[in-house]
């Protein structure tokens, strides 16, 4: 039986260079779920209720919180967390785990993180592994930037990654999240972004990965 892959992205833009390649791959289904965690969770859950896949692959761009992942670089995300699920009180951020509203080791969480347990799949990418943080608000505030970098030790920010991990872990489907970095988090001067380069790198990486998996 041939392998079946669900390729998930937030926007058409992130997969545009892959379209001709994907048209020839009947084993690959594309889901453009929309921007943000809610859209991703709804779209992915709905699709998995209809069909089962051997791999669910999320491909997207993101912002970097560390020098290691400069604009134009790429990584596979091995751990994700929700960066906006909690309260900012008296200048201090407290997550739902800090508040005692959720247990950090209740599935699908492990110490408050949504970890990818599929080691062989991550190794197959041959990419460096990064910690992701998901925030439905594009981060521009210094306090949130410090929270993500200093407290969470997150490295790459997106608006969908944690929702993707959350659904995939709950559904028990093998998954990978690939992120290409377009900019540093907090940098709003688009002239300093590498959007075109990151999308090109993302698509080349995903194409190569899908080719290897389907061979």
Give the integer Cα–Cα distance in Å for 200 and 205: 9
Neighbour-count burial of 141, counting CB atoms closer than 10 A to its CB (0-12 exposed, 13-18 middle, 19+ buried): exposed
- How distant is the alpha carbon of residue 70 from its chain centre? 17
Q: What is the CA radius of gyration of the chain?
A: 17
Tell me the two tokens of residue 70: 């400069």
CB hemisphere CA count around 104 (13 angstroms) = 10
Domains and their CATH numbers in the chain: 5-214 (3.40.50.1580)
Give the integer Cα–Cα distance in Å for 215 and 212: 5
Phi, psi at 63, each rounded to 5°: -105, 145
Per-residue confidence in pLDDT tens, the chain, 215 aa: 579 999 999 999 999 999 999 999 999 999 999 999 999 999 999 999 999 999 999 999 999 999 999 999 999 999 999 999 988 888 788 899 999 999 999 999 999 999 999 999 999 999 999 999 999 887 777 778 888 888 889 999 999 999 999 999 999 999 999 999 999 998 888 888 999 999 999 999 999 999 999 98
Are 72 and 194 in contact by the 8 Å Cβ rule? The answer is: yes
């Amino acid at each position: 039986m041939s392998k079946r892959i669900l390729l998930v992205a937030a926007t058409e833009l992130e997969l545009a260079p892959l379209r001709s390649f994907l048209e020839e791959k009947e084993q690959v289904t594309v889901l453009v779920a929309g921007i943000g965690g809610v859209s991703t969770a709804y779209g992915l859950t709905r699709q998995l209720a209809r069909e089962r896949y051997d791999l669910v692959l999320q491909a997207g761009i993101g912002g970097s919180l560390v020098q290691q992942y400069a604009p134009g670089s790429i990584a596979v995300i091995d751990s994700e967390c929700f960066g906006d699920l909690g309260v900012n009180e008296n200048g201090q951020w407290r997550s739902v785990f800090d508040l005692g509203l959720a247990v950090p080791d209740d599935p699908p969480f492990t110490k408050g993180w949504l970890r990818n347990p599929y080691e062989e799949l991550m190794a197959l990418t041959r990419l460096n592994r990064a910690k992701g943080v998901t925030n439905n608000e594009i981060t521009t505030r210094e306090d949130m930037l410090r929270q993500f970098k200093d407290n969470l030790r997150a490295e790459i920010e997106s608006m969908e990654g944690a929702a993707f991990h959350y659904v995939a872990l709950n559904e028990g489907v093998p998954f990978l999240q690939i992120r290409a970095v377009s900019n540093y988090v907090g940098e709003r001067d688009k002239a300093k972004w590498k959007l075109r380069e990151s999308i090109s790198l993302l698509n080349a990486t995903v194409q190569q990965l899908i080719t290897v998996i389907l061979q």
